[in-house]
Copies of this chain bind each other. A is one copy, B any other.
Amino acid sequence: MTLHERIRSDIAARIMAGTLAPGERLPIEAAMMRDYGCSRMTVSKALSALAAAGLIDRRKRAGTFVARPRLHSMVLDIPDLPQEVARRGQAYAFRLVRRSVRRPIAGRAREAGLAKRGRLLAISGVHLAAGRPLAAEERLVSLDAVPEMAAADFADAPPGTWLLRHVPWTEAETRIAAIAADDAAAAALAIAPGTACLSVERETWRGDDAVTWVRQVFPGDAYDLVARFGAARG
Chain A residues engaging chain B, CB cutoff 8 angstroms: 15-18, 21-22, 41, 52, 55, 68-80, 164, 168-180, 194-199, 206-207, 218, 220, 223-232, 234
In the complex, what distance in Å separates the CA atom of A18 from the CA atom of B166? 11
Check A197 against B178 for contact (C-beta < 8 Å). yes
With A177-B224, A227-B176 already in contact, the answer to whether A73 and B75 are too (CB < 8 A) is yes
With A196-B180, A196-B196 already in contact, the answer to whether A164 and B71 are too (CB < 8 A) is yes
With A41-B41, A72-B77, A227-B76 already in contact, the answer to whether A178 and B178 are too (CB < 8 A) is yes
With A75-B75, A197-B196 already in contact, the answer to whether A69 and B225 are too (CB < 8 A) is no
Residue of A55, A169, A229 with most partner-chain B CB within 10 A: A169
Q: Which of B172, B220, B225 contacts A179 (CB 8 A)?
A: B220
In the complex, what distance in Å separates the CA atom of A41 from the CA atom of B39? 14
Check B169 against A231 for contact (C-beta < 8 Å). yes
With a CB–CB cut-off of 8 A, which chain B residues contact A226? 173-176
